[in-house]
Amino acid sequence: MDGKTIVAVLIAGIGATLIDNLAAQVLFGLDFMKLTTQAPGRFGVAIGGAALLPFILGAKRGAAAYLVAAVVLAVGAAALAKLVFGYGAPWTTVLTLTSIYAVSAIAIYKLIR
């Protein structure tokens, strides 16, 4: 990974997390500031997910690449939230928010790259 890709991954992970936190506030009434400041692990997981983008988007072309990337990021983040971090919200809520994260991360990454 070159420097521009690393920067794109970092910004995509952080930016998508902030968008996800805002969506959690708007859609479900969660506290944006609490999510942003009291759960720093969310940023690490989000950057880790975004780090998959260069590989997924490099391995596939066209719409299939974006579909695979969105599914991997959304389902992977949801599984981690529910099964590892014990997030108590229903699966539909978690998948809604992780889908917002996934689409945001892909868009930010592509915008930078």
Q: Which pTM value belongs to this model?
A: 0.94
Q: What is the tens place of the pLDDT at every residue in 35-68? A: 999 878 889 999 999 999 999 999 988 999 999 9
Length of the chain: 113
The two tokens of residue 30 are 């969660």
Q: What is the tens place of the pLDDT at every residue in 74-101? A: 999 999 999 998 889 999 999 999 999 9
Cα distance between residue 35 and residue 20, in whole Å: 10
pLDDT (0 to 100) of residue 83 = 93
